């Protein structure tokens, strides 16, 4: 089998959106602030107080992608981290930006995290892949942090952020305790926007957890077995992992999930990750009512969604491209009627 045949050919959501009247724009932080290193994995929230607001993840590296048949393979396969000279860490700095109604950026502000920052104990620094949302009139970021011990144990942290004329400041930082965690790494929890302090911890098999904001503990309030109806559609048994926030949408709750396919494991056990996404609809009892077929945003190996919002006749979607660029997509809602769905 040729290597080209290992890569599933999927739908291109950006092309479909543009062909149906939508549009896409890059999200930018000037190079004099970033040193020219990567931007990725944006989130979006439409807020009564802040208007349209996005987060942008700035990473202290550039992700270089070599072609599959090139001979220079490192531990990350065809992905190579290129760091600035004398900086060996993979650091994340998060920015928040306001947008106008046409999704043009009006500003950018680095979230001031100095109040809680400590000397990092591991090479991945900062809160990664945040989702942004408001619960009980408080604006939060939630993402994984891995720098508090020397083995990189990842747990979700929920941080309250306030705004002023000077920008944005983190005023609380709470690490969510998971007593039943069976893993080294907790990440990609999806906040349920109309259910304060509830997250989808696992999309399928579904696990809905509720966080106690007083002591940062959490309990599972819904657990269901894997959906056999869609199990046959997954790539080599890939789990459906978290992506966007979970938003109320008509009689359903809607989110975007992702799954990761590793066809390159046949080459020296190197990581060759390909990311795919789906629209997923839950009914009121947290059963999977409808799920789209896999899609790519723009046909890249690494694409990663962290944001979904509803605005009048459009869905607003944010995603990262190759760990180097962040985009915002305005997709007419009727595109949901034009994409393909799995037969359940």
281-294 per-position pLDDT tens digit: 999 999 999 999 99
DSSP class of 15: H
**pLDDT for position 273:** 79
At residue 44, the pLDDT reads: 98
pLDDT above 70 for 270: no
- Report whether 161 contacts 140 (CB < 8 A): yes
Q: So what's the pLDDT on residue 72?
A: 45
Cα separation, 343 vs 334, whole angstroms: 20
What is the DSSP code (8-state) at residue 171?
-
Domains of the chain listed by start with CATH number: 3-337 (2.115.10.20)
Kindly write down the DSSP assignment for every residue of 67-117, as one continuous string. Answer: -TT-S--BTTBTEEEEPPTT--SEEEEEEEEEE-TT--B---EEEE-TTT-
Q: Is the pLDDT of residue 1 over 50?
A: no
| pTM over the 0.85 mark | yes
Question: DSSP secondary-structure letter at 336?
Answer: G
Higher pLDDT, 191 or 237: 191
Judged by average pLDDT, the poorest of 22-31, 66-75, 321-330 is 66-75
Can you give the pLDDT at residue 5?
A: 46
Residue of higher predicted confidence among 86 and 202 = 202
Mean residue pLDDT of the chain comes to 88
In which region does residue 225 sit, left (phi positive, over 0), alpha (psi from -120 to 50) or beta (all else)?
Answer: beta
pLDDT on residue 235: 59
Burial of 112 (0-12, 13-18, 19+ CB in 10 A): middle
Instruction: Using a pLDDT cut of 70, give the percent of the chain over it.
Output: 84
pLDDT of 17 strictly over 90: yes
35 vs 65, residue with greater confidence: 35
Looking at residue 303, what is its pLDDT? 95
Percentage of residues of the chain with pLDDT beyond 90: 70
pLDDT for the residue numbered 267: 45
The residue to which tokens 């983190």 are assigned: 170
The reported pLDDT for the residue numbered 85 is 62
Rounded to an integer, the average pLDDT of 29-37 is 91
Task: Label residue 327 by pLDDT band (50, 70, 90).
Answer: very high
Which range has the worst mean pLDDT, 34-38, 179-183, 212-216? 179-183
Looking at 65-69, 170-174, 217-221, 246-250, which range is the least confident one?
Answer: 65-69
CB 63 within 8 A of CB 320: no
Instruction: Give the number of other CB atoms < 10 A from CB of residue 165.
Output: 4
How do residues 135-172 score in pLDDT, each as one tens digit? 999 999 999 999 999 999 999 999 999 998 789 999 99
Residue 3: pLDDT above 50? no
pLDDT attached to residue 96: 97
């Amino acid at each position: 089998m040729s290597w080209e045949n290992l890569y599933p050919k999927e739908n291109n959501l950006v092309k479909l959106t543009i062909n149906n009247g939508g549009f896409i724009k890059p999200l930018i932080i000037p190079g004099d602030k970033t040193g020219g290193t990567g931007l990725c994995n944006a989130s979006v929230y439409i807020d009564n107080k802040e208007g349209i607001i996005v987060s942008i993840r700035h990473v202290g590296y550039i992700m270089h992608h070599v072609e599959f048949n090139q001979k220079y393979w490192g531990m990350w396969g065809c992905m190579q981290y290129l760091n600035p000279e004398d900086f060996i860490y993979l650091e994340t700095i998060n920015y928040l930006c306001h947008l106008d109604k046409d999704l043009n950026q009006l500003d950018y502000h680095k979230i001031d995290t100095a109040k809680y920052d400590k000397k990092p104990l591991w090479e991945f620094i900062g809160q990664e892949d945040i989702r942004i949302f408001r619960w009980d009139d408080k604006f939060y970021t939630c993402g994984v942090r891995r720098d508090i011990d020397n083995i990189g144990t990842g747990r979700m942290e929920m941080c309250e952020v306030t705004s002023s004329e000077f920008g944005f400041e983190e005023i609380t930082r709470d690490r969510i305790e998971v007593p039943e965690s069976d893993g080294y790494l907790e990440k990609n929890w999806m906040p349920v926007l109309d259910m304060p302090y509830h997250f989808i911890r696992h999309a399928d098999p579904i696990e809905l957890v509720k966080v106690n904001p007083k002591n940062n503990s959490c309990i599972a309030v819904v657990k269901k077995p894997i959906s056999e109806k869609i199990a046959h559609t997954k790539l080599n048994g890939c789990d459906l992992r978290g992506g966007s926030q979970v938003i109320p949408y008509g009689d359903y709750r809607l989110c975007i999930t992702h799954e990761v396919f590793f066809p390159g494991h046949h080459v020296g056990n190197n990581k060759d990750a390909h990311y795919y996404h789906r629209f997923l609809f839950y009914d009121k009892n947290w059963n999977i009512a409808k799920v789209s077929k896999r899609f790519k945003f723009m046909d890249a190996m690494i694409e990663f969604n962290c944001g979904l919002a509803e605005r009048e006749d459009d869905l607003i979607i944010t995603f990262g491209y190759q760990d180097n660029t962040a985009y915002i997509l305005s997709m007419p809602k009727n595109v949901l009627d034009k994409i393909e769905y799995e037969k359940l």
